[in-house]
């Protein structure tokens, strides 16, 4: 199963789900980018060309589904132990089998081997890590 052709192609393919986030400074060679978000710190593997940026950056955040369910809760996000995230929001089906955009406080492109209902009131737990695709 091919999830991406290249980081640049992935960013272009899912540009409708991109978001502007504040990237915090990280040491040179550190594989993660840390972003300030409405729900706190978000850490994602950097899929852009080094060095990692600091300041406001346009990114597509991507995660792979671990599990999902329905919720009555508001859109939100919680960092879980082990690099997982639980995201609540509205799911939109994207082009291609298994691709969704979860509209939570931060939009996240989700790859799911199972069909997700395109509606509000979904929670998704991601496999670690999240990925940050940037131009």
What pTM did the predictor assign? 0.92
Closest CA to 107 of 127, 128, 130: 130
Give per-residue pLDDT as tens, 94-123.
988 899 999 988 999 999 999 998 777 899
Torsion of CA 42, 47, 49, 55, to 10 degrees: -20
DSSP 79-127: E-GGG-EEEEEEEEE-SSTTEEEEESSS-EEEE-SS---SSEEEEEEEP
The residues that bridge with 44 in the sheet, in sequence order, are 33, 130
The label of the residue with tokens 């999902």 reads 68
CB half-sphere exposure, 21, CA atoms < 13 A: 29
Name the percent of the chain lying above pLDDT 70: 97
Give per-residue pLDDT as tens, 60-93.
999 999 999 998 778 889 999 999 999 999 999 9
Give per-residue pLDDT as tens, 20-66.
999 999 888 889 999 999 889 999 999 998 888 999 999 999 999 99
pLDDT score of 1: 47
pLDDT score of 76: 86
């Amino acid at each position: 199963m091919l999830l991406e052709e290249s980081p640049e192609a992935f960013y272009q393919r899912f540009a409708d789900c991109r978001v502007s986030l504040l990237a915090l400074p990280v040491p040179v060679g550190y594989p993660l980018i840390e972003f300030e978000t409405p729900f706190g710190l978000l850490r994602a593997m950097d899929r852009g060309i080094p060095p990692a940026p600091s300041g406001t950056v346009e990114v597509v955040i991507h995660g792979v589904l671990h599990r999902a369910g329905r919720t009555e809760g508001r859109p939100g996000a919680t960092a879980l132990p082990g690099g997982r995230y639980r995201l609540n929001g509205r799911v939109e089906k994207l082009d291609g089998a298994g691709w969704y955009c979860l509209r939570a406080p931060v939009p996240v492109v989700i790859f799911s081997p199972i069909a997700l209902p395109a509606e509000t009131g979904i929670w998704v737990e991601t496999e670690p890590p999240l990925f940050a695709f940037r131009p």
